[in-house]
Amino acid sequence: DGGITQSPKYLFRKEGQNVTLSCEQNLNHDAMYWYRQDPGQGLRLIYYSQIVNDFQKGDIAEGYSVSREKKESFPLTVTSAQKNPTAFYLCASRTGVDTGELFFGEGSRLTVL
Amino acid sequence: AQTVTQSQPEMSVQEAETVTLSCTYDTSESDYYLFWYKQPPSRQMILVIRQEAYKQQNATENRFSVNFQKAAKSFSLKISDSQLGDAAMYFCAYRSARWRVEYGNKLVFGAGTILRVKS
């Protein structure tokens, strides 16, 4: 079945540590996105990539980094520079056909201890 | 910048009844998409319904329909014959239809409305 796989589902880290969240899709989608979800704030865009080897900052990119070396993969690194990293992270992708909608993974819950 | 506002943090509905979730948005553009996404306790975001701004006819998907008022910049979701499985967080989202690098075809989300369904 085609879809988006995020891992791990739950992750704990100590302050000062970097952590990488995985996002893999087998939908052959060109564009991929990372969103952060906090209670009462909806989803906010961290980074997005329209094509391999290219990515752009979203609204809250500080303290995060990404790479897009393969079409299927768009990992997100939460660095120690991110002041408040505890959140739920959602990866999404979109086909090149402009239907507008995004397809989402099941998310990763990061907790900083 | 576009913004999406959902003014109802929580709503409740009796099973089999109808409920309407509100959404307003702000944009200077004329061509765009609007969406309602559902996020059940599993946290997976699921597309409920889509509306293209150039279409005057309101979108409908089975028990889900929208009331799209372009001039008022309003996009409400009506759920008819509510079921227990409809209980979830519902997000309204906006996306420009214009291909602009700075937009990245990103979705702009509202803060969400928690819908509780009572049996």
Question: For the segment B37-88, what is each residue's pLDDT rounded down to a tens digit?
Answer: 999 988 889 999 999 999 889 999 999 999 999 999 999 999 999 999 999 9
Edge to edge, the sheet with strand A64-66 lists A4-7, A19-25, A76-78, A64-66
Q: Looking at A1-113, which runs of residues are DSSP E strands?
A: 4-7, 10-13, 19-25, 31-37, 43-51, 54-57, 64-66, 76-78, 87-94, 103-104, 108-112
Task: Find the closest chain B residue to A45 by CA distance.
Answer: B106
User: Nearest C-alpha of chain A: how many angstroms from B111?
Assistant: 4
Contact status of B107 with chain A (Cβ, < 8 Å)? yes
> Which of B51, B105, B113 is the best mutation test for A, with the most CBs of A within 10 A?
B105
- Mean predicted confidence (pLDDT) in A40-54: 90
Q: A87 - beta bridge partners?
A: A110
Nearest by Cα to B29 from B52, B2, B49? B2
Tell me what percent of the residues of chain B surpass a pLDDT of 90: 76
Closest-CA distance of chain B to residue A48, Å: 7
A3-12, A21-30, A67-76, B104-113: lowest mean pLDDT where? B104-113
Q: State chain A's mean pLDDT as an integer.
A: 91
What percentage of residues in chain A have a pLDDT greater than 90? Answer: 72
**CB burial readout B37-56, b (16+ within 10 A) else e:** bbbeeebbbebbbbbebeee
CB A107 within 8 A of CB A88: yes
- Nearest Cβ partner of A106 from B42, B99, B109? B42
**Inter-chain contact A58–B105, Cβ cutoff 8 Å?**
no
CB-nearest to B106 from A40, A45, A107 is: A45
What integer pLDDT is reported at residue B97 of this predicted model? Answer: 81
pLDDT at residue number A97: 65
Confidence of residue B101 (pLDDT cuts 50, 70, 90): low
CB contact under 8 A, A106 and B44: yes
- pLDDT value, residue B104: 60
Res. A101: pLDDT tops 60: yes
Alpha helices in A1-113 (DSSP H): none
Q: What is the rounded distance in angstroms from the CA atom of residue A3 to the CA atom of residue A13?
A: 27
CB contact under 8 A, A56 and B112: no
- Asked if B78 reaches chain A (Cβ–Cβ under 8 Å), the answer is no
